[in-house]
């Protein structure tokens, strides 16, 4: 009979990483962050267990969007009342809430389940270069999002 080793929640060691988003392409950066939040970078990846790590994203206001997305891409929200549709383009969103650009891109790449909600909670995005998580001793994670370069 085959012995299976069970992964327990207490056995999972969660690391903290800092990612600098300045001069990074939004989509390529978001996919790498989503992989880390899900735990796909670990050899012990299991889809039904949250063994992902915490990610701190700094300089979110300096993220790059390719093409004309800065003025053509829209973010929609609706209050579910008649005439309650609100539309913002990326330029307006960057002025008001620059963190939400990265947060939304990563959130939509995670599973739409309870597990995805728990993984999304491990994402911490800040517009500037300062963050309040120095006590967790985060490691600097360099993500190269240049087109044509293998990660």
Residue 151, pLDDT > 80, answer no
For residue 19, being part of any structural domain is answered with: yes
For residue 39, being part of any structural domain is answered with: yes
Mean of the per-residue pLDDT values of the chain:
91
User: 80's torsion region: left (phi>0), alpha (psi -120 to 50) or beta?
Assistant: left
Number of domains in the chain: 1
For residue 147, being part of any structural domain is answered with: no
- Pinpoint the alpha helices (H) of 1-151: 26-38, 69-72, 90-96, 99-107, 114-120
pLDDT tens, position by position, 21-41: 999 999 999 999 999 999 999
For residue 122, being part of any structural domain is answered with: yes
CATH of residue 28's domain is 3.90.1180.10
For CA atoms 43, 44, 49, 53, the dihedral sign is negative
For residue 131, being part of any structural domain is answered with: yes
Choose between 148 and 137: higher pLDDT. 137
SS3 95: helix
Residue 149, pLDDT > 60, answer no
For residue 10, being part of any structural domain is answered with: no
Question: What is the per-residue pLDDT for 148?
Answer: 61
56 alpha carbon, distance to own chain's centre? 9
- pTM greater than 0.75 (yes/no): yes
Choose between 115 and 6: higher pLDDT. 115
């Amino acid at each position: 009979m085959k012995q299976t080793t069970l992964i327990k929640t207490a056995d999972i060691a969660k690391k903290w990483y800092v990612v600098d988003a300045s001069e990074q392409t939004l989509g390529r950066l978001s996919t790498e962050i989503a992989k880390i939040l899900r735990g796909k970078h670990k050899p012990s990846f299991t889809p039904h267990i949250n063994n992902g790590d915490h990610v701190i994203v700094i300089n979110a206001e300096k993220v790059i969007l390719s093409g004309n997305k800065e003025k053509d891409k829209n973010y929609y929200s609706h209050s579910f009342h008649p005439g309650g549709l609100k539309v913002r383009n990326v330029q307006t969103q960057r002025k008001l809430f620059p963190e939400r650009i990265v947060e939304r891109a990563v959130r939509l790449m995670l599973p739409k389940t309870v597990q995805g909600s728990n993984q999304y909670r491990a994402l911490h995005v800040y517009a500037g270069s300062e963050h309040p998580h120095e006590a967790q001793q985060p490691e600097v994670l360099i993500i190269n999002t240049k087109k044509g370069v293998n990660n």
